[in-house]
Structure 1
């Protein structure tokens, strides 16, 4: 096991008391504490926040658009961390999938989006900032399951040096086919970071905002 599934940090409400939980997945070179700091921008106070931390702060060694085998065995270990975390939230704390929300930035967004695609079901929400599904161009996207109208938000710069906008749009199309309610926003010439508008959209989707409301 390259990544330790027990290397986690929490914020917000205690897991035993919360009615919702958000799994937050940090980017390359980041930490659980870094990504948890964004929980202060989530306006819903019913959340517990939980963040796993990658060994040496990196989930897999190379770009997410490299051949999958180049990022093994780290990638499989990282996906297993998210699988074990979800299993514990369901078994130990009795969270149902619609109470579980996913949030990731950069490498963490790529990992998280790939995980939910491979484990599709009705979640509370999926928020991938500066990320996309993993694998080189032309990767077959044979995912099973349905998101059953899960709100998914993909936000990214249209000139991100790490995340090609084509991959964001491909990911959007895959999630739509899988039954998600997808909102995608590409920000012109924006740096590889998180902006206020993205966090506003996340809060609107958590509150049950419609696509029409987001466009206003």
Structure 2
């Protein structure tokens, strides 16, 4: 398994090996140590791994590590989120969360902003069907599964905790779309708020932005 080729390969050959699951992935110390405090400490320690230039990462799955390396090497990234009718499915949200957790474990800063962009893109596309007569420009969310509501709550909180945030416009659009069918405990907005209350470690800025968007929605009525 390998990650996407970048100009770094033209400068020097790999000088370390990452052991991830059953995979052995060659990499460059000058790329990893410059951006990861974890790798910097591991490769400068007096351990057997540092001496042999082989770093074991049992906590991370190979496919996730490849995504992390793509980011470290500045290779083109693709969104881990599904599109269309499967947007914010359990699989796609877990994939993004794993990638962000790997960045956090390896003490790599800055990736959250790129994944925030992927999230905003998905929010903009979700259910925005121009042929839907009920579409008022906010997005009808016709393909938005109610069962995925808690997934949006979770991934938003994870991204905010990584240090990024989505724009006020995107948050307002999300809240307006959630409120479109706000009738009863099974409505999207009710599910959203209930899932937010159950977050084990809620981010304060995240809650502030949601609250401001809800207040703006109420004021517009």
Which of the pair has the greater relative contact order for Cα pairs under 8 Å at 6+ separation?
1
| TM-score for both structures, normalised by structure 2 | 0.34
Based on CA coordinates, which of the two structures has the bigger radius of gyration?
2
Tell me the TM-score normalised to structure 1 length.
0.35
Q: Which has the higher strand share?
A: 1
Which structure carries more helix by proportion? 2
